[in-house]
Amino acid sequence: MSKNTADSVDSRVIQRLERAVGPDGVLWRPEDVLAFEYDGTIERARPQVVVFPRETSEVAAVARIARDAGLPIVPRGAGTGLSGGAVAALGGVVVALTKMKRILEIDVNNRFAVVEPGVVNLDLSKAAAPYGLYYAPDPSSQRACTLGGNVAENAGGPHCLAYGVTTNHVLGLEIVTPEGDAVWLGGRAAETPGYDLRGAFVGSEGTLGIATKIVVRLLPVPEATRTLLAIFDEVDQASAAVSAIIGRGIVPAALEMLDRLVIAALEPALHVGYPVDAGAVLLIEVEGLHETVTEQAAAVREVCEGEGARELREAKEAEERERLWAGRKGAIGALGRLAPNYYVLDGVVPRTKLPAVLREVYAVAERYGFPIANVFHAGDGNLHPNILFDERKEGETARVLAAGEEITRACVDAGGSITGEHGVGLEKRGYLSWIFSEEDIAAMEKVKAAFGSGELYNPCKMFPTGKGCGEVSQARLERAMQRAGPDAYI
């Protein structure tokens, strides 16, 4: 059979794909697909083909072509994912959905929207704003990440403490199955009879099919919002305040923590008003009716002062509020001022265990000799330690992975989980057995079989098993080396 390059697919497959989506919608040359070998993690693997469908029928055609050729198929949004979910671990066809970016409908009376998967998260709220509505899940990458990717990873965000993550806001999905059929899961109503296949699909990380239309609920813009910055000298004080606020019966719309190292990176770059001498700050937002917000803001202030906050600031104008949030949303990007690379983790712990687990995070930083910056959703105990390093230095990537494993294990040992919103993906598939039994994992794998996805839809993701995935695991193992080796600790 004719080949285009040594590692490409058969030229007749390329021709079929070009007929399906148009010649301008297919990339196959190595230099063209290079940009699609990674997402927001340190994982990398190059696809053989990248296609850009524009409508459901084209996605279905691509699925059938890939199935006939026996090629893995990997759905991809904006590539901002943080678990290797969009990495083509075994090569194959990446289906980039960024050209499917239409907002098809905004139903104001019933408060829902119908969108394509390539719609950028923030763009939906902008489109709904003239009607007094918005879309609640707001990942830090909301200016870039797409709703299809949010569905795949069950993305969260700062305001999901009060409103829930993506699965709580998706009413229905049109998906393309591995057989190339377009079917609906759920619909436009809040509840539908039968099995919750919609719920099973959200968070399935591209292993069950490809979402081509998404029905999401919209919420009314709150009547009042108050944003506070609580400043602490010590991380332990800020951590204790988190539990105390929730223990008081207050569930803020958002409750975020940033530590000293994060502030040191972002403040000189963004000038948002975070004190550089603070040990940690809490960014707290309460919203709702005017009367309720006034009472909650006063209670939050009282709790924080009781836990040792040296100062509380409140945004007086919308511009000041936006500046404070720009610091939180731009925090991870600002870490590039401190190191060329970062490895972000996603463990979850009970709120009361925050002080102890954060102490262990800093202990890991000392043992391995890496700075670790912490910026995270403190209200729901979803930690995001960022290990700063330089991948150009020999052995650093392996040691970073080993440090990340220790931190993730500490989260699990504290009664938590390996991920809160970034997904299992490629990077944490080996940790799934820490929180699930073999029987649990086998039951979940049967869901893949029920959808007919087998090993071709986003292979080597989520589960520790999978045909052909052993080499991927071995590569990670080699990068991680042996933690007991002479250079493992400093």
Tell whether 71 and 145 lie within a shared domain.
no
Question: Quick check: is 487 in a domain?
Answer: no
Span 431-452, pLDDT tens digits = 999 999 999 999 999 999 999 9
Judgement on whether residues 173 and 247 belong to the same structural domain of the protein: no
Are 210 and 317 part of one and the same domain? no
Q: Which residues contact 18 (CB under 8 A, 6 or more apart)?
A: 25, 26
In this prediction, residue 416 carries a pLDDT of: 97
- Whole domain around residue 228: which residue ranges? 224-335
Tell me: do 397 and 314 sit in the same domain. Answer: no
Cβ–Cβ under 8 Å, residues 231 and 281: yes
User: Does residue 210 sit within a domain?
Assistant: yes
Same domain membership, residue 164 and residue 289: no
- pLDDT, residue 7, reads 62
- Whether the CB-CB separation of 456 and 66 falls below 8 Å is answered with yes
| CATH number for the domain that contains residue 254 | 3.30.70.2190
Residue 470 CA to residue 248 CA, distance in Å, equals 49
Clarify whether residues 18 and 143 are in a common domain.
Answer: no
Closest to 206 in 3D by CA, of 165, 152, 146 = 152
Distance CA 196, CA 184 (A): 12
- Nearest to 257, CA basis, from 290, 236, 229, 283: 283
Residue 287 belongs to some domain of the structure = yes
Among residues 96, 57, 59, 69, which one has the least CA distance to residue 15? 69
285 and 166, same structural domain?
no
Kindly give the parts of the chain with pLDDT less than 70. Answer: 1-8, 470-490
Domain boundary among 96, 129, 149: 96
Which pLDDT value is given to residue 489?
A: 31
Verify that 349 and 461 share a domain, yes or no.
Answer: yes
Cα 196 to its chain centre, rounded Å, is 23
Per-residue pLDDT at 475: 53
Residue 2 lies in a domain: no
Domain of 61, CATH number, reads 3.30.43.10
**Domain shared by 209 and 257, yes or no:** no
Q: Residue 471: its pLDDT value, please?
A: 62
| 373-389 tens-digit pLDDT | 999 999 999 999 999 99
Rounded Cα distance, 489 and 279, in Å: 26
Q: What is the CATH number of the domain that holds 143?
A: 3.30.465.10
Confidence at residue 193, expressed as pLDDT on a 0 to 100 scale: 87
Q: Is 335:380 a contact under the CB 8 Å cutoff?
A: no
pTM over 0.75, yes/no: yes
Length, in residues, of the chain: 490
Question: Same structural domain for residues 403 and 458?
Answer: yes
CA distances from 479 to 85, 401, 470 (A): 19, 8, 14
pLDDT digits (tens, 9 = 90+) for 210-266: 999 999 999 999 999 999 999 999 999 999 999 999 999 999 999 999 999 999 999
Q: Check whether residue 363 and residue 454 sit in a common domain.
A: yes
pLDDT of residue 296: 97
Cα distance between the two ends of the chain: 53
- Total number of domains constituting the chain: 4
Pick the last residue of a domain from 284, 300, 335. 335
In whole angstroms, give the CA distance from residue 170 to residue 368. Answer: 41
Query: How do strand 49-51 and strand 93-96 relate by DSSP bridges?
Result: parallel
Which pairing describes strands 49-51 and 133-134: parallel, antiparallel, or unpaired? Answer: unpaired
3-state secondary structure of 387: strand
Amino acid in position 58? E
> What integer pLDDT is reported at residue 6 of this predicted model?
37
Q: Select from 49, 68, 96 the last residue of a domain.
A: 96
Do residue 201 and residue 228 come from a single domain?
Answer: no
Rounded-to-5 percentages of helix, strand, coil across the chain: 40, 20, 40
Supply 183's token pair.
Answer: 């079917």
Residue 3 lies in a domain: no
Q: What is the amino acid identity at position 39?
A: D
